[in-house]
Structures are given as structure tokens and as C-alpha cells.
Structure 1
Amino acid sequence: MNIEHLKLFVRLAVTHNISQAGQELGLSPAVASAHIGKLEEGLGVRLVHRTTRKVSLTQEGEAFLPHAEEVLASVEMARASVGAGSTAPRGTLRVTAPASFGRMHLLPSLKAFLARYPHLSLDLRLSDSIVDLVEGGFDIAIRNAELKDSSLIARRLAPDKRIICASPDYLQQFGEPDSPQDLLNHRCVNLLGLETWVFDTPAGHLSIRPSGPLRTDNGEAMRDACASGLGIAIGSTWSVYRHLARGELVQVLKDSPLVAETAIWAMYSSARQLAPKVRAFIDFYAEHFGEQPYWDRQPSAQHGHP
């Protein structure tokens, strides 16, 4: 059984595309297709369904996949035991992330990440749409909600603290809310899908559905509308920390925290947990953000950070 054929098959299980899997291993589409054919011929079973658009694993392919991964891991361990080979991350890492978070907090530190791993390149897709990690051929998906998908593994990268904000201009014109219930008397900016705000009060959880002049599907648009005085809004501290430091936004209702079990997660397929490049990316950003990320530190520590 050819090790290179196994590497191609394992990569194919993620990308669902023979050309892409082959390209990442330096193979032409014709050679990659021939390698899969030889692997199937040697096993005497069909491992993949081929269509014009993509390939998918057969039932036999799904059964064979974990064993192929185990063989490759054993080979790497055997080579490492005698000081041969390298588990240094290499190849192309495909990552999808929310547009705002990716632009604000992944991009500024990519130079340091790629300097640490010079044999790695990144295909970064920034989108607020939830894309299917496996169908899209991604190695990692950055999400601010943990998906209940048994085929995926979630690693917590950072907290996602959410607060209630308003601009000084708004507060000067309309006053500051005294309680969560008081929000019903204020103009609020809502994010689609987050129209109900749940607060932790001494009497228990309190749900409020505030209304106002704007509802949007974009977190940055909500933040900027709030900063321009359009109304009160929820803001993730990773999104609003600069505005808070500059005094363009002010936190309100500090004594009534939001109920939000949210965090920034790195999701990856269980089939990719042995890939050095996946582990390298997740470990780098978990360390970079830390349990108290830079956006949640004192304003004096926030100035000048990318």
C-alpha cells in the first residue's frame, strides 16, 4: 500500500475534489486520479463516488478513512523516532471566518504566524455566512457559536464577551437607561437573529425585545450605527474595544450583564485532528488571544494594538 496514495485519499476526504487534493500534494489532476484508482485497485473496492462537480466517499471509503489516518500517523511517529522526517506544518491551510472578526483579529497577526511556519500558505475566506466546513473543503472554521455536529471538534480560542453600548451623543439626547426594562423606552439597533436580549438580574433571567430605527445583518454596521448615535446596541468587546477606548462608545447597564454563553471557537473535522498545520494554527491563536484577550484589557493597554 503506497503511503503517497493514502495521503492523497485522506486529503480528498476533506476537499471532495481530486484536482485540489492533488494540487496540495504537487500532483496533476490526471496523476491524482490515477493514484486513487491504484489504491482502489489494490484494495479491490471503490473508495469514492466521482461526479463532474465533486467526489464523495463510498461506504467503504468512510470505513477505510480512519485506518488510513492511523497508518499515516504511525509512519510519522516511526520516522520521528529515528529523527527522520519533519512534522513541521506545510502545504495550504484553508480557513473560513466571520468577516469582521477575521479582518480585525486574524489578519493583523498573520505575518507572525506565517513567519513561524514558512512552509505554510493560507487560503482565508471571510464571510458572515455559515459555510459547511466539509462541503467547502475547509480545514478550520472560526465561529462564535459552537455547532452541535458530532463530526466536528471545537476548540475554544477566546471569550466573546457582549455588553450594551451607546454613544455619548445618544446619552446626552435621550438619557441613560436605568434598567433592562427601560430599554423598551429607548431607540435600539438590532442585529438579525439577536432581537431578544437576555439579562441576568437578581430576580433571574429577564428577556427584553427592544425596537428602534435599524435592524441589520452585519455586526460592524450595528456597531457603527450605535457609534453615530442611532441607538443603543449589543456589542462584542472584540468589535467595540477601540470605540470604547476612544470614547466613541460607552458601556451602559453595567450592573445588568447579558446572559451569553458565547466564545470564539475553532471548528475542525475529526479527520483533520492529526494534521500539523491545523494544530499549528489553533495553538498559535489560542496563545495569541489567551484567556483574557487584548480587547478585554484596560483601555490604556489597548491603544496601539493591531
Structure 2
Amino acid sequence: MDIEHLKLFVRLAATHNISLAGRELGLSPAVASAHISKLEQGLGVRLLHRTTRKVSLTEEGEAFLPHAVEVLSSIEAARASVGAGEEAPTGTLRITAPASFGRMHLMPAMKEFRACYPQLGLDLRLTDTMVDLVEGGFDVAVRDAGLKDSSLIARKLASDKRILCASPEYLAQYGEPQTPLDLRNHQCITLIGLDSWGFDTPEGVQTIKAKGTFRTDNGEAIRDACVAGLGITICSTWNAYLHLHRGELVQILPDYPLVSDTALWAVYPSSRLLAPKVRAFIDFFAERYGEMPYWDQTQHEPST
């Protein structure tokens, strides 16, 4: 079984396009098609349904895919164990991350990361949709939530501290709430599907049903609406730190911290050994953010 054929099959499973998958690996459509045919002949099964526009996996192809991924990951890890790890990671690292965090805290560091690993290609998808790493062909994902998927291995990159915010203009007009219960008399800006806010109080956890006339599905939009004085909202400090520093937002109810088990994680499938390129990414950003990430420090400046 040819390793290059496996690589092509895995990319084909993600792109559903022979020409595109072949181009990523430097192959012409004809050569890519021939490689897949040889793989199918060697296995004695049909892996793909082919049409003029796209390809899709057969039932046998779906069953074979996770094993192909694991074989490729094992080979890469095995090579690293006998000395390849001393060389700079190569190939293409495919990353998926939340849109806002990616724009604000991954992209500014990409030039430095590329300088450390010049032979490594980067394929970055910024989306707030929770994608399947194996199906999407991703090596690693950055996630800012509580982890529930036991099929993933995670390493914490940074804390995800969440606070309650309002603009000075809003507070001047409507007053500042003194307890979580006071929020019932205020406009609350909510993320769609997340309108139950839990607070740690001396009497235990107190959950408030946040209500208001504006809600959205984007963290930056929530922050900007809060800056514009539309109401009170929950913000991650990595999202709001510059606005807090400039005085466009202020923290409210600091004595009643929000109940949250979220953090910023780098995750990869548990079926894969840790490839050198994934380790390079995780180590770089874990060190960059550190125990106290720059967005939670007084100077509010990214580290260089």
C-alpha cells in the first residue's frame, strides 16, 4: 500500500474533488485518478463514488478513512522518533479556529510562526461552526468552550476569562446594576442560544435569564453593540481587552463572577499520534499566551 496514495485519499475525502486534492499534492488530475484506482485495486474494494462534478466516499471508503488517517499519523510520528523530529516540521498544517479569536490572536502571530517553521505550509479556516476534524481533514483545532468530546485530546492554550461589561454611556443613562438580580431591569445583549447567565454569589450559583432587544450569533458583534451602548453583555477578555483598556467598556458586577468552565484549547483526534507539525503549533501558541495571557495583563499588549 503506497503512502502517497493514502495521503491523496485522505485529502480527497475532505475536498470531494480529485483535481483539487491532486493539486494540493502536486499531482495532475489524471495521475491522481490513477493513484486512487491503484489504491482501490490493492484493497479490492471501491472507495469512491465518482460523478462529473464531485466524488464521495462509499460505505467502504467511510470505514477505511479513519484507518488511513491513523496510518499516516503513525508514520509521521515514527519518523520523528528516529530523528526526523530534529528537523523543522514540513508539509501542510491544517488548522480550524473560531473566527473572532483567529483574526485577533492567531493571525497577528502567523508571521512569527512562519519564520520559526519556514518549510511548513499553513491552511487556516476561521469559522464559528464546530467542524469534524477527521472529516474536514484538519490536523488541529482551537476551541473556546468546555470540552465534551471524549474522542479528542486537548491541551490548554490559555484561560478564557469571561466578564460582564457595559459602556460608560449606557451606565450613565440607565445606572449600574449592583447584584445579578438587578439585570432584570436592564437591556442585556445575548449570544443566540446563551441567555442563561450564572453568577457565583455568597448564596451559591444564581442563574439569570438575560433579556433584551438585541441578540446576535457573533462575539465581536456583541462586543461592538455593547460599546455602542445597546446594553450589558458577557465578553471574553481576549475579545474585549482593548476596549476595556481604552475605557470604551467597563467591567460590572466584579464581586459576582460568572460561572464558566471554558478555556482556549488546542485539540486533535485521539486516534492520531501527535505529529511534529501539530506539536510545533501547540507549543508555539501555548508559550505565546502563557499562564497569564497578554489580554489579561495590565499593559494589554500582545507579546512579541
Bigger mean CA deviation after superposition, 269-278 or 257-266: 269-278
Aligned-residue offset at 1:260: 0.9
Say how many residue pairs are matched. 303
Cross-structure match for 1:54: 55
In 2: Cα distance, 1:248 partner to 1:282 partner: 33
In 1: Cα distance, 2:193 partner to 2:243 partner: 24
Aligned-residue offset at 1:112: 0.5
Specify the code of the residue in structure 1 equivalent to 2:232: I
Q: CA RMSD in A?
A: 3.0
Cross-structure match for 2:239: 239
Cross-structure match for 2:100: 100
Specify the code of the residue in structure 1 equivalent to 2:223: R
In 1: Cα distance, 2:210 partner to 2:66 partner: 50
Kept after mapping to 2: 8 A contact 1:133/1:141: yes
Q: Does 1:73 align with 2:74?
A: yes
Aligned-residue offset at 1:200: 1.1
- Alignment CA distance shift 1:18-1:112 (3 Å): same
Specify the code of the residue in structure 2 equivalent to 1:275: A
Counterparts in 2 of 1:1-306, with a 5 A limit?
A: 1-12=1-12, 15-50=15-50, 52-56=53-57, 58-59=59-60, 62=63, 65-66=66-67, 69-70=70-71, 73-74=74-75, 77=78, 81=82, 88-146=88-146, 148-270=148-270, 272-297=272-297, 299=298, 301-303=299-301
| CA offsets 1:246-267 (integer angstroms, 9 cap, x no match) | 1221111111111111112233
Aligned-residue offset at 1:151: 4.3
Specify the code of the residue in structure 2 equivalent to 1:77: A
Kept after mapping to 2: 8 A contact 1:156/1:266: yes
Bigger mean CA deviation after superposition, 39-48 or 92-101: 39-48
Give the TM-score of the pair, scaled to structure 1: 0.84
In 2: Cα distance, 1:80 partner to 1:2 partner: 21
Bigger mean CA deviation after superposition, 137-146 or 97-106: 137-146
Aligned-residue offset at 1:106: 0.6
Bigger mean CA deviation after superposition, 225-234 or 267-276: 267-276
- Alignment CA distance shift 1:57-1:108 (3 Å): farther
- Alignment CA distance shift 1:169-1:276 (3 Å): same
* Secondary structure of residue in 1 paired with 2:154: strand
- Alignment CA distance shift 1:287-1:62 (3 Å): farther
Specify the code of the residue in structure 2 equivalent to 1:62: A
Kept after mapping to 2: 8 A contact 1:192/1:217: yes
Gapped runs of 5+ residues in structure 1? none
| CA offsets 1:24-64 (integer angstroms, 9 cap, x no match) | 32222221221222223233333445455333264477358
Bigger mean CA deviation after superposition, 174-183 or 205-214: 205-214
Specify the code of the residue in structure 2 equivalent to 1:37: S
Give the TM-score of the pair, scaled to structure 2: 0.85
Aligned-residue offset at 1:95: 2.4
The share of aligned pairs that are identical, in percent, is 63
Aligned-residue offset at 1:87: 5.7
Specify the code of the residue in structure 2 equivalent to 1:267: V
* Secondary structure of residue in 1 paired with 2:145: coil
Kept after mapping to 2: 8 A contact 1:139/1:272: no
Gapped runs of 5+ residues in structure 2? none
- Alignment CA distance shift 1:234-1:45 (3 Å): same
Kept after mapping to 1: 8 A contact 2:177/2:253: yes
Kept after mapping to 2: 8 A contact 1:166/1:251: yes
Kept after mapping to 1: 8 A contact 2:294/2:302: no
Aligned-residue offset at 1:210: 2.6
| CA offsets 1:55-92 (integer angstroms, 9 cap, x no match) | 326447735853774477358636863x5797632233
Specify the code of the residue in structure 1 equivalent to 2:300: Q
Specify the code of the residue in structure 2 equivalent to 1:56: L
Kept after mapping to 1: 8 A contact 2:190/2:216: yes
| CA offsets 1:281-306 (integer angstroms, 9 cap, x no match) | 22222222223211112x2x214668
